[in-house]
Amino acid sequence: MRSQWECLLQNLGCWQGSFTRLSPNGEILEDIPSETSLELKADNQTMRQIVRRFYDGQPQDLVLEYRTLNRSTTFFENGAFSQGSLQFAPYTEFGAELGLIYGDRRLRLVALYDKASQLDRFTLIREQLPDRTTPERPPLTLNDLLGKWEGEAITISADWLEPEVMPTITEWQQEGDRVIMSLQMQTPMGAKAIASIARLDPDNSQILHFEQEGLPIQTLFLPDGASVTCPKAIATRQPFRLSLSWLLEPNLHQRMIRAYDLKGGWSSLTLVTERKVG
């Protein structure tokens, strides 16, 4: 397996796009043009990262240089990554970024919770390498997901053991305003099946509300074939997950899941890649 630093290098280049700030229900609050460049310095050991955002046409730069990665950032071999809070605690702000990469395009999303542990806002970052022609994908809809998908899940745990790879089967079904999502995984301990039931929001077709005890969970469909699934509020002693999904092609789907345990500690990061088979 590549080292974490080698995985980071899959993101080299100048990524052009925008930072789109969204409300918890998907309303666009502002859209800021951006360029994010990652380049190795001459010593081949130092990364220089410049995040340039254009406010009313005027650039504002954030410049970072680093030679190592801290524990709050985790990469997969294809360059997909996540960074964020290692521990959730009440009365403090909490957030995480999830990033997917495919060819000449990247998709990143930042989810932020306020000091009352309520979902506060998202930032959706859509980026492309210069002089490339891959078009942005249409906004994701439920219809895009319906059917059967097969693939694999790669999980990196917080204790940095060897990544675990498991076959997956995901099915999406719709019955009126009711949506059923089922997931099957073949784990070393045997087959594991999970079923979730959601309902379409009657006032906003961008939102699915999942029915479960404990935390209220929603999926929000986004531009560029994306969606985010997360709690609307976080509570102590309740495990939770933040998930970013991306429809890379009509029959190819990827999602990243950042999981937290009962004590609010970051526990694992999973990358699922699946193809539609029915």
What is the domain partition of the chain in residue ranges?
A: 4-276
Phi, psi for residue 143 in degrees, rounded to 5: -60, -30
pLDDT, residue 213, reads 67
Q: pTM score, two decimals? A: 0.95
227-240 average pLDDT score: 95
What is each CA distance from 33 to 10, 56, 218, 229, in whole angstroms?
23, 9, 28, 25
| Least confident interval from 14-18, 34-38, 106-110, 132-136 | 132-136
Q: Give the helix/strand (H/E) hosting 143.
A: helix 142-145
Q: Which CATH class is domain 4-276?
A: mainly beta
Asked whether residue 161 carries a pLDDT value surpassing 80, the answer given is no
Task: Provide the pLDDT confidence category of residue 58 given band limits of 50, 70 and 90.
Answer: very high
pLDDT, residue 276, reads 98
55-65 average pLDDT score: 95
Q: Number of H helices and number of E strands within the chain?
A: 2, 19
> Beta-strand (E) ranges in 103-239?
105-113, 119-128, 147-157, 164-175, 178-187, 190-201, 204-211, 217-222, 226-231
Burial class (CB in 10 A: 0-12, 13-18, 19+), 97: buried
100-116 average pLDDT score: 97
Look up tokens 């650039």; give the residue: 59
What is each CA distance from 212 to 197, 231, 239, 268, in whole angstroms?
8, 11, 13, 22
Which residues share a beta bridge with 231?
217
Asked whether residue 214 carries a pLDDT value surpassing 80, the answer given is no
CA distance 258 to 264: 12
Average confidence score pLDDT of the chain: 94
Q: Give the helix/strand (H/E) hosting 244.
A: strand 240-249
What the block records as the tokens of 120 is: 């506060």
Torsion of the alpha carbons at 61, 65, 68 and 71, rounded to the nearest 10: -30
